[in-house]
A and B are shown apart, each in its own frame.
Chain A
Amino acid sequence: MTREILKHMVLIFGAIVVLAPFYMMVSYSFKSPGEIDRGEGGFFGRQELMVDERCVKLRDPNRDDIAAARADFPGQSDRDISAALIDQAEADCAMRPAMFNYTKAFSEAPLLRYLVNGVIVTASIFLIQIVVALPAAYALAKLKFWGREAVFGLVLFCLLIPVHAIALPLYIMLAKVGLTNTYAALVVPWTISVFGIFLMRQFFMTVPDDLIDAARMDGMSELAIVWRVMLPTAIPALLAFAIFSIVAHWNDYFWPRIVVTGNRDLFTPPLGLREFKGDGDGSFFGPMMATATVIVTPLIIVFLVAQRRFIEGITLSGMK
């Protein structure tokens, strides 16, 4: 029994270390700059009204503004009017910290657009990978043809080349054909998943030949067999692969950082976060943590909902 408790203690300590940054991230995303600086306020912060200094600065009065406001403050000096105007601005710019952080996260940069881009890019990568890999995997697993060994050998060789490693020549080639700063640049290098071919081939090997022969008897073309016979049998393996692919590309930072420069319309979530990070202003920790929370959350939710599938998937693809 004591052993059991000891084990739990070790594991709980590990869990605290693992969870600490997540806790901080969510907690900071609720807090005001002052609370972050001083490390106060518990998890949710005190949610006292705070003043958005930038918003105040935007309403810093000019000569014209003071002249216009003179009617409202009869008999006062310009300096007093100016002070009164600033007070008024401060009152109008007060907000609750949590509200402030999350509205800033969505208004400072087109965060929604980034999320949509993330979905577009990961989805198209995955779909193209499947369209390319499934037929090849089927041919390698079930068709006899001259050169099959060579093709499979090539697949095994290409498994040795991680795409990140050849990012530089890929970038140069894309630049030469004028494709940098396009969706294509974000998607193209990932369209071929040698790993996917390998995984699906191993899986197809276990599909009985009778199934395919029967389909041929029915007069199906080979391509039709791939999509109408093999695909349905491969759903579990495909799910595993999907998880692998989506996690990798939603979170990828290196490649988008290389091929996308300034155009926000093409930014994926990590790129958007990086731009936020360029902001050195201490008062923006909160909104940045809010952005980070928004970006991390989708995959975590999907993971929590489909946890079993996830872990099975990673396992399956890991164990080949």
Chain B
Amino acid sequence: MKYNVTAMALAFSASAALAEDMVTIEFAYPYSHLFDVTYEAMMPAFKEAHPNIDVKFRATYESYEDGTNTVLREAVAGSLPDVTMQGLNRQQPLVEKGIAQSLEPFIAAEDDFEKDGYHNAMLSLSTFNDEVHGLPFSVSLPVGYYNMDILRAGGIQELPKTWDNVIAACKTMKANGIDNPIFWGWNITGNWFMQALLWSQDKAIVENGRVTLDSPEALVALKQMQEIFTECEMQNLEWKAALSSFSAGEIGMMFWSTSALGAVERSQGDFELVTGPFPGLGKAPMGLPAGGNAAMLTSTSDDPKVREAAWTWLKYITSGDGAAEVAKTTGYMPPNKAANEIILADFYEQNPNKQTAVDQLPLLRDWLAYPGDNGLAITQVIYDSIERIVTGDATDMKELQIEMVEEVNDLLPNG
């Protein structure tokens, strides 16, 4: 009965929509394995609320790097989508290049737009020159994923608080015949874990337009990574393979973004999964970079209808029902307090694993962009350097730091 009514309502609104003209907007987002289900869940309600807007999904970006690179290339080709989801660390160059547009005019035109609904810390991640250029869609922090069955079998009772604890845990597990104690997500997008180790020491990777890879803190970070990789004898898994191995119950501890929680739970094997706060260097981290992505308006259309539709979509996915789906289907934190009114009241009690990131919210810091046009290339240089630690190719961290700094300087403006 209920379905009949909805069907009729849909049919009615659809024909009503035909009378007006349909507006098509193009939209692209990254990480299909995390978000496909989220957008799929949003679409029916959005269609019902805005029957005259047709959202055309472009191919998903494989990663934030892929997303930025695609948008930059599309800007040259003149084929930008109307709305794009970009990694929080990639917003700045797009704003500087004038590809992502300010949202202030739209915000001003809204009667009841509640900037307040958005967590301030999150909104500030997308604010440049005092103007909001993106609405945060999903925010994540690094956490630890623990397979409690393996930990217990390895004789570990307590979740580690520092990296030294982690290494000690690795050794205990190894001694107890656990093959694969750890995966540490060095290869996560945008050098996020490098930045996490720097923020843990309260050091920004970019200060006043200067990349601080030559700082003592950076050396500490490199050495810490080396210690984890070698002492734990970590396998160099590709991250997707690592996620599926962890889900299959083959890895004891995985350090990764809370974002994957939804995906991991969906394909989780038969074991007890617990998340815990991100360990620190000697003491609890002093800060952690905010991961996640924000919706940016990149429409090149002059048609006010299209722009208005793009704004409607952008607003919908980041607030209310849209944001609620983010919380339900992924491990991300929704950007908007309004989401809490929609999801189950005891959502976080029922999903304690998703609570971990929320607890870490006070540590939220910027996931920084590298200055100049070559941000993507710099990301790759740092990635390559860390990879040399994992594979054991680089053993002297001081030397590695010098090489890395030299290559990065090449790519900086005036370098």
Contact = CB atoms under 8 A, between A and B. Distances in A.
Task: Check whether chain A touches chain B (CB < 8 angstroms).
Answer: yes
Given A281-B263, A281-B266, A175 B76 contact: yes
Given A58-B40, A62-B342, A175 B77 contact: yes
Interface string A19-61: 0000000000000010001000000000000000110011011
Contacts of B31: 278, 280
Given A178-B78, A280-B243, A57 B41 contact: yes
Interface stretch (B54-62, B309-317, B352-360, B391-399): B54-62
B58 A262 contact: yes
Interface in B364-398: none
B59 A264 contact: yes
Given A264-B58, A264-B59, A279 B73 contact: no
Contact of B267 (A181, A275, A281): A281
Contacts of A68: 2
A279 B31 CA distance: 7
A180 B79 contact: yes
B28 A262 contact: yes
A275 B29 CA distance: 12
A261 B32 contact: no
Given A181-B74, A261-B70, A261-B74, A280 B263 contact: yes
B343 interface: yes
A262 B240 CA distance: 22
Given A53-B266, A281-B267, A262 B74 contact: yes
Nearest to B72: A261
B324 interface: yes
A293 interface: no
Contacts of B74: 181, 261-262
Contacts of B57: 264
Q: Could you say which interface size class chain B belongs to?
A: 35 or more
A221 interface: no
Interface in B16-43: 26, 28, 31-33, 36-37, 40-41
B126 interface: no
A47 B263 CA distance: 24
Interface string B59-92: 1111100100010011011110100000000000
Interface string A261-304: 11110010001000101111111100000000000000000000
Contact of A282 (B41, B79, B247, B324): B247
A144 interface: no
B118 to A, nearest CB: 21
A77 to B, nearest CB: 12
Contacts of A108: 36
Nearest to B266: A53
A63 interface: yes
Interface string B245-270: 00110000000000000110011010
Contact of B33 (A58, A180, A264, A281): A281
Contacts of A277: 62
Contact of B62 (A54, A57, A278): A278
B59 A262 contact: yes
B329 interface: yes
A282 B77 contact: no
B244 interface: yes
Contacts of A37: 248, 269
B7 interface: no
A221 to B, nearest CB: 42
A283 B267 contact: yes
A181 B37 CA distance: 27
B239 interface: yes
A263 B59 contact: yes
Contact of A261 (B36, B79, B266): B79
A178 B32 contact: no
19 contacts: A57-B266, A58-B37, A61-B344, A63-B342, A63-B344, A63-B345, A178-B78, A180-B73, A181-B74, A181-B77, A181-B79, A262-B26, A262-B28, A262-B81, A275-B59, A275-B62, A280-B239, A280-B240, A282-B248
Given A263-B58, A264-B58, 14 more contacts: A54-B36, A57-B328, A57-B329, A58-B41, A60-B328, A175-B76, A180-B76, A181-B77, A261-B70, A264-B59, A280-B31, A280-B263, A282-B243, A282-B244
